[in-house]
Structure 1
Amino acid sequence: MRFTLLFLLAGIGVTQTCPSASAQIVIRNNSSDTISNRVNAQANLMKADGERTRSLAEARLLFAKSEIKLVEAASKKVDLKLKVMQNYWNMQEEYDVRKWNKLAADIENRRKPMVEQRARVASLFDRAFSDPANSRYAVRNGNLFNFLLDQINAQQNGFLSGGDLSPGISANLPLLSDETLAALQVQTPASGGAIALSLTSPLPDLFKTWPFLFRDPEFTVERDKMTELAEQMLGREVTPEQQFALSKQFATAFEAISSKFYHRYPPNKRKGLSLAEWRRINDAEAFLRRVNQTVMQAADTDVNAIQRRAYTEAYPPEQRNIATLSKFMLQNGIEFGKAKPGTEFVYDQIAPQFRELLALLEISPDEEWIADAIVNMDLAKEVRDEPAPKPPQDAANDDNANKADAKDE
């Protein structure tokens, strides 16, 4: 034990007093490696910095080239847009030229028929009174008189005023008798058909002229009931509520007389009838249609529009002539109807009176009236006949519009 301990102490002493050669070599080698590593690291750092600088230069070059490309693309877009706008304005100019050429052609095409129409009107004025044979049909169906009323209305606006007529106009005109006024058939236009009127009473004259078949005593009750209800419906004191109730009663009375008529004259048993019997049946059926149309149209129309004074109430006997009659008809929107059979001579008698009235009013188409065929048109409407080309839109606007459409869908 002691020997071992002494040996260890002796070894330790030798080690402390004599450093070894191998330990010094190791220290020298570690110092050289550190310097080398530092040099290598600095070289790598400089190399990396050089590569970074070169990459930045290349990136700047690519960016500059992309900027050039963007400028070139923007320039091409501007050139394209200018071409599109130029094309649009060329189309707009062509459209305007085409539009105004079309408008000029329309004006000319409308002017020619107007001139021809006015020439025919002047010719009608000449033939209406110079040759009675040519004007007889137009007189007896009331068309000529309605045409003359239109001419008075167009050329004498004061004729519709509420004042009295000039004494020089109506003083020398023949007076119209009650028989003449009763023979004249007058009516007022309506959406469902003309409404028959009377110049002497609120009740239309057709209730005073029942056809031959309805004069049979077997129809007396139904005929009197319809007449009574019609008088009440067209009365001046009736209210809309009362007129509605009366119209239901009138419809019932009309159904009763119609059923009785068709029971006596069924359509499937009319074979072998004579011409006179056929004519009477047709007259009766036409009368039923006209009575129903007149009364029901009056019920559907505003009460105040139907409740107008009769001509005989508006003018005393000494003022009843063709001038006051024309004024009354124009003010109330009344026109002549076809003459009843057997009363055509009354229409023939008042035709010369109309001509005298036109002479007093100095109404006669002349060359100046015919040549003055100017057509007033709404130009704004004319230019909308053909749609104008739409202006071009940007691609962005188109995309937004498409997105909005897709969203709506």
Structure 2
Amino acid sequence: MASKFQGFPGMDDILPGEIEKWQWVEERARAFFEAGGFKEIRTPILEPTELFVRSIGQSSDIVHKEMFSFKDRGERDMTMRPEMTASVARAVIERGLLTQAKSLRLYYVGPMFRAERPQAGRKRQFHQIGAEIINENEASDFDAIALVHGLLHYTGLKEFSLNLNDLGDEESRKKVKTALADYFEKEKNRLCKDCRWRLEKNVLRIFDCKIAECQPVIEKAPWEQFAPLGANFRKLTAKLADYGIPCKVNRRLVRGLDYYNGVVFEITASGLGAQNAVAGGGRYDNLYQDLGGAAVPCTGFSIGFERLLTAIQAQDEKAFEEIRTRRVYLAPLEDCAAVLNVVRETALRLREKGFRIEMSPGVFSLSQHLKKADKLGARYALIAGLDEVSRGKLVVKDLAKREQAEIEPEKITACFEQ
């Protein structure tokens, strides 16, 4: 049946059958963050446009041509958040969170919005998992990188590469920008229209260009001459090596947001094609001051949720097989309170332990239930008849091994976790 209404291009529905993979990754991410002492923060999707103009930078591609911005009924300029760091900074300043703690370690999971041309790896509504380490010095750069490195492994990504660069402190960045502007000015006629605009607004944004004609000019930019790697950066790479975290220095890496200074990093993964960046981040020590707060040294990162899922599955077709092993189908054989109450209580216990619950409304014969369980991809069927319930038992059937046993309801979760 044809639908009268259709979703906007680049803003996808996430349906049953796919959403379980999202939930699985989200649950692992939350467990990983919280095991490291991070606390979740949630901010509104709509923010004042000026927040992103001042933080991300007027010259960035995001602000220049990718934001969903409009005036609300009160004639206020509003934007659907294109990234999360600025929103977190706004919340920390507005709510005075640093008056309650010396430093903060926060994480988030949520949708972002950019008015890009939809293509593989780029959506207009996309999702990010990220973390911010707030009011901590350069030593926390290692913590941020180790955290994202460990999290990617924990969610099932096997093959990825870490690239690093050193943008220097604010004073050295000014010198670098001046030197690079002089270099690119001499090569101006070989740059694309957008890069000539970037040269006038923020020369570092030229390094974001993907146009083929600009690449020879960008490749020859004498980074090392203008901005040799700092002592803190060299200490960081040495510590990463000591901890078995391989990395590559990429002097072209600048990231697409103006608030970065010092260390920036990007992680690329196989299985993603041309858009192969799965995560990125870096140090930003001036953002809070730029937004009207005190000087607050910070670092952080974000992971592209859609790209992470794509890369995990591309690298291992069976990566989400564990979801099936934790899927339980409920099969009540009687329509009576005694049976249904036990089934419901057992289902809640299983769900609290992370098991996925499948069921079909109504009461069916055992053979019908088993066919439905197989169709839904369940590993186990939980069978409850009046006879079993009256004896304080339920039947657990392993649909893969074709084995079954009677077990007391309160012992079922322990049985599944063996």
Given the two structures, how large is their TM-score scaled by the length of structure 2? 0.22
Given the two structures, how large is their TM-score scaled by the length of structure 1? 0.22
Report which of the two has the higher share of helix. Answer: 1
* Structure index of larger Rg: 1
